[in-house]
Amino acid sequence: MKYFNIKDTDLQISTLALGTWVFSGDCWGVVNEQECIDTVSAAIDQGINLIDTAPIYGYGAAESLVGKAIKGRRDKVVVATKCGLIGIGAHIKHNLKPGSIRTEVEESLTRLQIECIDIYQCHWPDPNTPIEETLEFLCKLQKEGKIKYIGVSNFDEKLLKRACDFTKIVTLQNQYSLIERGIEEYVLPMCRKLNLGVLTYGPLAGGILSGKYKKEPNFKPGDSRSFFYKCYKGEEFNKTKKKIDELEKFKRPLNQLAVNWVRQQSGVASVITGARTPAQIIQNAKSFEWDLSDEELIEISRITK
């Protein structure tokens, strides 16, 4: 496993991270609790130390599973969780006000069975709360010892600049893959300039870049792939499928190629991949046994631009 030192911190994170949205039991289908716990253990055994989760994943279910899995191995992991998305029945509300964050952080600490969160991230922007108000409270949580470092997620370049001007932000987590490259124009260059560690999610775009979908899938209502990733429907699926067909000429496992391409982009600190079984995370870790050449990186970028 390779590691990345986040500038001006004592954090050395694995460049492959375990994402736990798939532990939620709601947007990704039924999960087996013990299998999820075993997946975290397998990740740690592979040298993966960054575990990313959030209270909105299964309304606390994912955090609780992570807490059980890392018990007795806390010194082996960097725990990253989030705040700002509140589940109200089937609806989700954005709330980054201090009172709401106070409730969230206390509940996260309890579920995770830890005393301090290593990276605490604003999950999504809250248009009704000035980011400065949110960050001022997060700085207070730092002083209280409940969180160690502050990160943000799904921020555009303007809001990211405001946040960094106000206080020390160490990471940005945004979607980035061969077919979702929106951060390349402004956000990624800014992160390089500001020395932020970029945590990327969705490198397989919900699984389509594993190559397993030969025809347009029909997901059940509520499945995250039916609403979060735009590449599964109609013409978007057809365009993505053509790109995937062309990528097969590289004679590499497609999922590993997709993960490696993201990992090898300048500024990327860690690639977050979801896995719900030990076999899946072990397979993802195999991506780090080889690198794409400069020529391959350029050609893959051309195909998927």
Tens of pLDDT, residue by residue over 34-61, are 999 999 999 999 999 999 999 999 999 9
Q: Given this model, what pLDDT does residue 71 score?
A: 96
> What does the pLDDT average to over 238-254?
90
- Residue type for position 209: L
> What does the pLDDT average to over 79-100?
94
> What does the pLDDT average to over 235-242?
85
| C-alpha to C-alpha distance for 122 and 85, rounded to whole angstroms | 9
Which of the four pLDDT bands, split at 50, 70 and 90, describes residue 88? confident
Q: Which of 3, 57, 201, 232 is an active site residue? A: 57
| C-alpha to C-alpha distance for 91 and 304, rounded to whole angstroms | 34
**Which among 76, 195, 96, 226 has a CA at the least distance from the CA of 153?**
96
> What does the pLDDT average to over 69-89?
95
> What does the pLDDT average to over 286-293?
93
Alpha helices, DSSP H only, in 82-186?
98-112, 131-144, 157-166
* Mean pLDDT over each residue of the chain, to the nearest integer: 92
Interacting residues of 116 by C-beta distance below 8 A, sequence separation 6+: 109, 145, 146, 147, 148
**Which among 81, 104, 85 has a CA at the least distance from the CA of 94?**
85
> What does the pLDDT average to over 57-73?
96
Q: Given this model, what pLDDT does residue 91 score?
A: 84
| C-alpha to C-alpha distance for 174 and 164, rounded to whole angstroms | 16
Q: Given this model, what pLDDT does residue 229 score?
A: 60
| C-alpha to C-alpha distance for 170 and 272, rounded to whole angstroms | 16
- 223: pLDDT strictly greater than 70: no
Q: Given this model, what pLDDT does residue 235 score?
A: 81
Count of other CB atoms within 10 angstroms of residue 71 = 12
| C-alpha to C-alpha distance for 90 and 75, rounded to whole angstroms | 36
Pairing relation of β-strands 50-52 and 16-19? parallel
Q: Given this model, what pLDDT does residue 31 score?
A: 83
Q: Given this model, what pLDDT does residue 218 score?
A: 66
> What does the pLDDT average to over 129-143?
98
Alpha helices, DSSP H only, in the chain?
33-45, 61-70, 98-112, 131-144, 157-166, 187-194, 234-247, 254-263, 278-285, 294-304
Q: Given this model, what pLDDT does residue 124 score?
A: 97
Candidate from 14-18, 224-228, 244-248 with smallest mean pLDDT: 224-228
Candidate from 221-235, 243-257, 265-279 with smallest mean pLDDT: 221-235
Candidate from 124-133, 150-159, 212-221 with smallest mean pLDDT: 212-221
Inter-helix orientation angle 33-45/278-285, to 10°: 30
| C-alpha to C-alpha distance for 276 and 32, rounded to whole angstroms | 8
Which of the four pLDDT bands, split at 50, 70 and 90, describes residue 285? very high
| C-alpha to C-alpha distance for 151 and 117, rounded to whole angstroms | 11
Tokens of 41: 């253990």
CATH code of domain 3-304: 3.20.20.100
**Is 120 annotated in the active site?**
no
**Which among 32, 88, 98, 16 has a CA at the least distance from the CA of 65?**
32
Pairing relation of β-strands 85-88 and 91-94? antiparallel
3-state secondary structure of 187: helix
